[in-house]
């Protein structure tokens, strides 16, 4: 996986909007968001002693998800996150007290927005990062190679993640837990996520996949390619994207979508009310009004968790699966007793 070296340049206006939406929602960014095979391979580790007498503390050497060797202090007390998904993962591992800083786009959980800011994921402020005195910097493939190289020259360890599927996201959580020295917390979280996905697989084993259009952006119409982790999330929820392309974020001709006639339209939103208004506006537009799914109200809105490679994506997958395949969950009298409600609940728009 190559680093992102320049922003998207479709048009100046759309580039700004798209960069902000991507940076806010992804972690690969895409940890823009996954075809590598490293998902099931644990990070390689060995303990070494720092050679400098002034830096006599022990370190561990990890191989990150793009194959770089990274020396990390045995005790990681100060973390800087350069992507929203990584910030979420630090919180999910209950290591937020060690999070010294994050980016302008880190907005979940709400406490993340109160951390010192280091700028955007694509062009973070190196001076601000250095001021925070991090023991470790967490990065993704949205972060430019120039940024990582500059941090390396400053002697700051940078661990890079690059998941391309839901399973690889879970493996990343486990690896990050190992790097931070919280293996037990990571193992518990990972076990829970995998068990929930296995239960979904069991319930949907005999369900025919729903043909769906996942709408990332409406003007221009942007959807997802088959290699993105969002497409993988749809598969876990019992859906299949009608868009078949290797391009990660393809611009689609609406006429082609009318020809394909997806069974469901799926939108992601952190603010369902705003998204409902956007959908209402689409109903009268040429092309959109010709979609059977629009006329039949087969529209599902899920939380923006589904477009971030974070543990919360499993919440969104479960809710999407219930919306697409309610018959598979008819035997559930109530939600699992040990499940925690999410702040941003996924909801079906079934008026």
State the greatest distance between any 2 C-alpha atoms of the chain, in Å, as a whole number: 71
Q: Write the pLDDT tens digit of every residue in 135-171.
A: 999 999 889 999 999 999 999 999 999 999 999 999 9
Q: Write the pLDDT tens digit of every residue in 50-86.
A: 333 334 469 999 999 999 999 999 999 999 999 999 9
CA distance 135 to 125: 17
**Overall average pLDDT of the 45-52 stretch:** 37
Q: Which range among 103-107, 149-153, 240-244, 338-342 shows the weakest confidence by mean pLDDT?
A: 338-342
Q: How confident is the model at residue 311 (pLDDT cuts 50, 70, 90)?
A: very high
Domain ranges of the chain: 38-185, 206-349
How does the average pLDDT of the chain come out, rounded?
82
CATH class of 38-185: alpha beta
The closest alpha carbon to 103, from 143, 141, 60, 75, belongs to 143
Please state which CATH number belongs to domain 206-349: 3.40.50.1980
pLDDT of residue 36: 28
pLDDT of residue 1 exceeding 80: no
- Contact criterion met (CB below 8 Å) for 144 and 3: yes
pLDDT of residue 248 exceeding 80: yes
Structure tokens, 325: 């395949």
pLDDT of residue 2: 41
Q: How confident is the model at residue 221 (pLDDT cuts 50, 70, 90)?
A: very high
Model pTM greater than 0.85? no
Burial readout 282-302 (b: 16 or more C-beta within 10 A, e: otherwise):
beeeeebeebebbeeebbbbb
């Amino acid at each position: 996986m190559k680093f992102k070296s320049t922003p998207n340049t479709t048009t100046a206006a759309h580039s700004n909007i798209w960069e902000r939406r991507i940076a806010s929602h992804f972690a690969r960014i895409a940890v823009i968001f996954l075809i590598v095979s490293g998902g099931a391979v644990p990070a390689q580790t060995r303990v070494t002693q720092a050679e400098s007498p002034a830096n006599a503390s022990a370190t561990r050497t990890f191989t990150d998800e793009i194959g770089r060797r990274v020396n990390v202090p045995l005790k990681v007390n100060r973390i800087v996150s350069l992507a929203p998904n990584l910030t979420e993962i630090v919180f999910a591992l209950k290591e937020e007290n060690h999070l010294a800083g994050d980016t302008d786009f880190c907005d979940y959980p709400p406490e993340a927005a109160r951390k010192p800011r280091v700028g955007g994921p694509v062009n973070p402020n190196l001076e601000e990062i250095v001021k925070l005195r991090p023991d470790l910097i967490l990065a993704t493939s949205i972060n430019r190679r120039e940024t990582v190289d500059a941090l390396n020259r400053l002697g700051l360890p940078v661990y890079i993640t690059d998941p391309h599927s839901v399973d690889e996201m879970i493996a990343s959580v486990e690896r990050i837990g190992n790097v931070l020295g919280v293996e037990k917390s990571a193992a518990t979280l990972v076990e829970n996520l995998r068990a929930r996905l296995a239960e979904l697989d069991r319930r949907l084993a005999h369900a025919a996949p729903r043909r769906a259009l996942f709408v990332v952006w409406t003007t221009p119409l942007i959807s997802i390619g088959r290699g993105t982790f969002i497409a993988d999330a749809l598969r876990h929820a019992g859906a299949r994207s009608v868009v078949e392309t290797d391009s990660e974020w393809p611009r689609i001709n609406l006429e082609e979508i009318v020809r394909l006639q997806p069974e469901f339209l799926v939108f992601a939103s952190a603010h369902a009310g705003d998204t409902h208004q956007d959908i209402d506006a689409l109903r009268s537009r040429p092309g959109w009004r010709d979609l059977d799914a629009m006329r039949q109200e087969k529209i599902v809105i899920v939380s923006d968790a589904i477009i971030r490679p974070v543990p919360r994506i499993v919440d969104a997958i479960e809710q999407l699966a219930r919306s697409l395949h309610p018959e598979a969950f008819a035997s559930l009298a109530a939600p699992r007793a040990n499940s925690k409600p999410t702040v941003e609940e996924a909801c079906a728009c079934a008026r």
